[in-house]
Amino acid sequence: MPVQKCPLCMETKQVVSSHLMPAGLYAYTSGPNGDHVSFNAEIMMATTRQLQHPLLCQACEENLNKNGENWMVPLFARYGGSFLFHDLLTKMPPAIVDEETRVFAAARNPDIKTDMLTHFAMGIFWKAAVHSWSGSETAPLIDLGPYTESVRQYLRGETWFPARMALMIGVLPPPVKNISFSGPYRGANGEWHNFVLYILGIEFMLFVIRKSGE
């Protein structure tokens, strides 16, 4: 593996092959031959390729693993099977019920580790903001602008969750038919920046309030 500047700790050291989406997710979506469906705006195909690139040092990989990924990955929906995160979420009654919509206060649920849930999602959004994850592009997958640095500091445990940002999640009721995941992309809201990430029954939505002139 090459020696280069790790964008998370900002130290020059040997980096490892980092995944944009946690490697453990691929087992949930792979077929009998080990392949999964990969798609973007130009092509859709079955492949065994996993989206990865030499990016983070081993210590920073472990930071993302222990502070979110290891707890969160086993909780996603499985095809025709369990959806453990939904089970945890619905152990407590919803805080708001509006017709078919139910709103849960996850922070009040002792079974949900909101710090790890948040760290997990923000880690993926941040990785998409510091690398293109494409062999034909150089620009990052999404643009968090000046907020990229504050997210980096948050992931490092140096600051609280960044100001002027909000993370909201939507959870599908089981059985979940859409057993897939997609990398972060820019949403269509014109009043503020919003970014979306879907993983196996859960949609993560990151909202960024624009500053004057942005």
Digit-coded pLDDT (tens) for 167-210: 999 999 999 988 888 889 988 766 678 999 999 999 999 999 86
**pLDDT at position 99:** 81
Instruction: Express each pLDDT in 108-163 by its tens digit.
Output: 999 999 999 999 999 999 999 999 988 777 899 999 999 999 999 999 999 999 99
pLDDT of residue 51: 85
User: Is 52 or 100 the better-scoring residue by pLDDT?
Assistant: 52
Mean pLDDT of 57-86: 95
Instruction: Of 12-16, 31-35, 59-63, 181-185, give the lowest mean pLDDT range.
Output: 31-35
Q: How far apart are CA 23 and CA 50, in angstroms?
A: 8
Does 47 score more than 90 pLDDT? no
- Cα–Cα distance between 38 and 49 in angstroms, integer? 9
- Can you give the pTM of this predicted structure? 0.92
Rounded CA gap, 104 and 97, in Å?
9
Compute the distance between CA of residue 106 and CA of residue 109 in angstroms, rounded to an integer: 5
Kindly state the percentage of the chain with pLDDT values over 90: 64
Provide the pLDDT for residue 189: 65
Rounded-to-integer distance, Cα 45 and Cα 40, Å: 10
Mean pLDDT of 42-54: 74
**66 DSSP assignment:** I
Please give the pLDDT value at position 123: 98
Of 77-81, 87-91, 172-176, the poorest mean pLDDT is in 77-81
Determine the Cα–Cα distance for residues 157 and 66; give it in Å rounded to an integer.
13
Comparing 21 with 28, the larger pLDDT belongs to: 21
Helix or strand (DSSP H, E) at 86: helix 84-89
Find the mean pLDDT for residues 13-35.
86
